[in-house]
Amino acid sequence: MMKRIMVFLIGLFFVSMVISANDGSSNNGTGINPPSWAIGTWEDKFFSTTHVVTHDNVRVITASDTIDFKEISKSQGTPVSALVDKDVYSLTISITYFGTRQSVSYVYTRLSDTTMKWTWTISGMEVGAGTLIKQ
C-alpha cells in the first residue's frame, strides 16, 4: 500500500513539473468535453485528491499540486484527446518532460450517479487509481 502511495506522489510530482514548464506556445482549443454525469466535484479520500470536472476542463487537486488539463494543453501547445463512452470518459495528453515525450491519461468510469472509478497512467504505466465520491 505504501508503495502505491509513493508511486502516486512521484507521478504527481512529474506532472506538476510539466505544468510549470511553459514553452511560450499557445493552444486555446482543447478536446476536453466531459459527459454530464462526470461534471462536478469528486473526492478520493484515500489519496486525498479532489477531481473538479467542468464542461471544458478537468483539474486534479492535492494538498501540494494541481494537475490542470486545460493549462497543460495551453502551456505545452498540445491538444487533449478525450473519448466518451456511455459510462467511461478518458483524457489523454502528450507532453514533453526533460526532452522526452510522455502520454498522460486519466480514465473515469461511472459506477453510479455519485461514485466513479479513476485510473491515472503515464506512458502506459498505472500510477494511480481509486474511487471518487461526488460532493
- pLDDT for the residue numbered 59: 95
- Residues 24-47 pLDDT 10s: 333 333 489 999 999 999 999 998
Q: Which residues contact 104 (CB under 8 A, 6 or more apart)?
A: 15, 18, 72, 92, 93, 94, 95, 120, 121, 122
- Cell numbers at 123, concatenated: 506512458
Confidence of residue 83 (pLDDT cuts 50, 70, 90): very high
Percent of the chain at pLDDT > 70 equals 77
- Is the pLDDT at 14 greater than 70, yes or no? no
pTM: 0.76
> CB–CB of 46/4 below 8 Å?
no
Q: Cα-flanking dihedrals φ and ψ of residue 31, to 5°?
A: -100, 25
- pLDDT for the residue numbered 110: 98
Q: Beta 57-61 vs 66-68: how paired, if at all?
A: antiparallel
